[in-house]
Amino acid sequence: MGLGALALALTVTASACGTTDTDDGGSASGEDCNFKIGVMGALSGANASIVLPSVDGAELALNQWENDECEVTLEKFDTEGDPAKATPVATQIAGDDTFIGVIGGAFSGETRATKSIYNDAGVTMVSQSATATDLTQEDQVEVFHRLVPYDDYQGAAIAKYLTDELGASKVFVVDNSEAYGEPLADRVEETLGDSMVQRDKTEVGQTDFAPTISKMESAAPDAVFYGGYIAEAAPLLKQMRDAGIEAPFVGGDGLYGADFGNAVGDAGEGAVVMCPCAPIEEDSTFAADYEAEFGSAPGAYAAEGFDAMTVFLAALDDGARTREDVETFVDGYTGEGLSKEIAFDENGDVPQENVSYWAYKNEGGTLVPEVEVAP
Amino acid sequence: MDFDALFSGLDRHTLDGITRGSIYALVALGYTMVYGVMKLINFAHSEVFMVGTWTVLGVYTVLGVSTGETLPVVIGATLLALLAAMIASAGTALAVERIAYRPLRKKGAPPLIFLITGIGCSLVLVELFGQVFEVLFGPPFGRVTVNIPSVLETKELFTIPGIDLTITNTRVIIIVGAIAMMMALDTFVNKSRLGRGVRAVAQDPDTASLMGVNQNRVIMLVFVLGGAMAGVAALLYTIQYDITKFDIGFIIGLKAFTAAVLGGIGNLRGALVGGLLLGIAEVYASTIWSSEWANVTAFVVLVVVLMFRPTGLLGESLGKARA
């Protein structure tokens, strides 16, 4: 009774918020197959270029889908990557029965803030890019799945790149004191051990990094790792180069977006971005289809976005018609995805052996695949 | 906690703090002048600064200049950018006063209405650059961080012997530029005829009107002067950091407002003292701990200072400005 009233209240809230939803919530989840899949992430803002290609990838998968029986629409929700803005989105999706699944959250913070809302409503989540370790390793929820490995592995791969590929023995580690950057930097620090010379913390929204730069000057590192996103990485790197610190700069997948090169300009030449994502071959059909549809080469996590949509569509092909059906199907899903061999373990993670890690180098504003790194 | 790091490079950290604080101080002038005359916190002032940074980018783009130009081109482009940023920022400040505040003043609206209106203007300007211009003109407008070409490149000028402190051209320009502008403004307010009008309205608006001072003109003047100072700050900011963003004014504005209160809001010299103190406190805290402690320390300093001197370090006194 209480739950029913709550669900009703949520539905009312959802329509009051001005969704494009015109369907009657109840009728869809029956004989006729008419569903919506949500995608939630930073569709605008400084970090949008890390998310938008995955949304386009999902849209491409939907466009290419052939199924006479079912009608599926992709609804995009812009959270600007902000957990506070993601929560109302999750409530809205959870309260609308025609949503059978969500692609996302794209970032870890918003995913952490919303996963229990989705879990309570039984909405399956398949994230294309949320990598924080705790999402699957601590207080797991049933409905959360992701197509990327967690940061423990990414951190180890980054540390390996720093020591083995760059030959660094005095790494300066900086993070942005937030849900994604801090644990990633912790893991890099842990794996580096004695190869780390100093650690410093900065803030989201910071533009003056003079104190960090002077710490770097006295530590004289032979490489710098930054755990964080593009908006702060750009001024940090520029101020480093202005101060004459020429040590190689390495970032995590939080910098893996087309805007990184634009924001950082000349100072970013040669900067390395690590990503748990294999490069998409330029002559593949996916790259050609994507280019034809959206007019640019597939960017960050485009293949993961495509794969996430494919998993949901496969559930409908298989005859799933309710949220419970979809959840059961996704839990047991195995298949050859664009990004990797897809399967989910009991925590919702893809098997570690299916993942490859790549270092991408910024050359003239474009991220070019450099080398594969095994953690 | 690393006090060694602080004391071993105290000169360097102080210089970093003064650089950061100079920009706070310039922006703080806008808050302090408007407050001194109208007893109003103009929350749209942070966006007056933001408009200045975009203007610098616009000038560089129109001129087609980038890194590595010849010295005359660098000087010319920078001065042009300075002038344009001052005009654009002053114009924005004036527009806010004419469109938003003056109609309220005419109707005798209570002070709270001015505050909310200021916040509204601030949001309008932010969304103008973050949304509207993106729709109308496309990139570089929008919500991303934008790279401004470093036309004026950082170069080492000299090293102070003995303490081994390297001085770069950009630091000299920022610190000297900021202090020179503030001294000019201080002289203007204290010595000139128009400045006397400003002080008169600040002391007693009604009596000043009776004595023939045009109150609206004085108010426009303080918005223009404060805006022009924010324009200077915008150029200096882009020289140092080479970026802008639609919401870049928010944090700078907050810090500048804090600096104004710390020094004594309504007091021009207080803005300088407050700005420099705030900048230095932040850099020291970032060095001893890390940058995430900068804000905490800055506000602890503010609270402690206000406990002992509730009107700020130098007290509120645009009207009674000590000549």
Contact B154, B174 (CB under 8 A): no
Chain B CA closest to residue A264: B147
The reply to whether B14 falls in a domain is yes
Chain A CA closest to residue B146: A263
pTM, whole model, 2 decimals?
0.84
Q: What is the C-alpha to C-alpha distance for residues A113 and A347, in angstroms, rounded to an integer?
A: 18
Q: What is the C-alpha to C-alpha distance for residues A263 and A233, in angstroms, rounded to an integer?
A: 9
Q: Do B144 and A259 touch (CB under 8 A)?
A: yes
Q: Domain ranges in chain A?
A: 2-149+282-344, 151-275+357-373
List pLDDT tens digits, range A189-232.
999 999 999 999 999 889 999 999 999 999 999 999 999 999 89
Question: Is residue B162 exposed (0-12), middle (13-18) or buried (19+ Cβ within 10 Å)?
Answer: exposed
- Please count the CA atoms within 13 angstroms of the CA of A71 that sit on its side-chain side: 7
Q: Do A238 and B142 touch (CB under 8 A)?
A: no
Specify the DSSP class assigned to residue A29. Answer: B
The reply to whether B164 falls in a domain is yes
A interface test, pick of B23, B61, B145 with most A CB neighbours within 10 Å:
B145
Q: Chain A within 8 Å of B67 (Cβ-Cβ)?
A: yes
Q: Do B9 and A46 touch (CB under 8 A)?
A: no
List pLDDT tens digits, range A306-346.
999 999 999 999 999 999 999 999 999 999 999 999 999 99
Burial B243-267 (b: 16+ CB within 10 A, else e): bbbbbbbbbbbebbbbbbbbbbbbb
User: Chain A interface residues facing chain B, Cβ-Cβ under 8 Å?
Assistant: 44-46, 48-49, 80, 177, 200-203, 205-212, 214-215, 218, 230-231, 234-235, 238-239, 242-243, 259, 262-266
Q: What is the C-alpha to C-alpha distance for residues B160 and B168, in angstroms, rounded to an integer?
A: 11
Q: Class of the A2-149+282-344 domain?
A: alpha beta
Specify the DSSP class assigned to residue A17. Answer: T
- For the ranges A106-110, A240-244, B4-8, B273-277, the lowest mean pLDDT is seen at B4-8
The reply to whether B247 falls in a domain is yes
Q: Do A201 and B146 touch (CB under 8 A)?
A: no
Q: What is the C-alpha to C-alpha distance for residues A357 and A267, in angstroms, rounded to an integer?
A: 25
- Give me the pLDDT at residue A265, please: 87
CATH T-level topology, domain A151-275+357-373:
Rossmann fold (3.40.50)
Residue B245 lies in domain = 3-308
- For the ranges A34-43, B80-89, B95-104, B142-151, the lowest mean pLDDT is seen at B142-151
List pLDDT tens digits, range B274-308.
999 999 999 999 999 999 999 899 899 999 999 99
List pLDDT tens digits, range B222-231.
999 999 999 9
Query: How many structural domains does chain B have?
Result: 1
Q: Do A211 and B144 touch (CB under 8 A)?
A: no
Q: Tell me the chain B residues in contact with residue A259 when contact means C-beta distances shorter than 8 Å.
A: 144-145
Say which of A201, A207, A209 has its CB closest to residue B292: A201
To the nearest 10 degrees (0 to 180), the angle between helices B268-288 and B249-263 is 120
Query: B residues 128-157 near A, CB within 8 Å?
Result: 142-147, 149-150, 154
The length of chain A, given as a count of residues: 375
Q: What is the C-alpha to C-alpha distance for residues B166 and B104, in angstroms, rounded to an integer?
A: 51
Q: Tell me the chain A residues in contact with residue B145 when contact means C-beta distances shorter than 8 Å.
A: 46, 230-231, 234-235, 259, 263
Q: Cα dihedral angle (B86, B89, B95, B96), rounded to 10 degrees?
A: -140
Instruction: Identify which of B116, B117, B96, B100 has the alpha carbon closest to the alpha carbon of residue B230.
Output: B96
- Average pLDDT of span A96-103: 95
CATH number at residue B227: 1.10.3470
Q: Do B286 and A211 touch (CB under 8 A)?
A: yes
Query: What band does B53 get if pLDDT is binned at 50, 70 and 90?
Result: very high
The reply to whether B251 falls in a domain is yes
What are residue A334's DSSP bridge partners?
Answer: A343
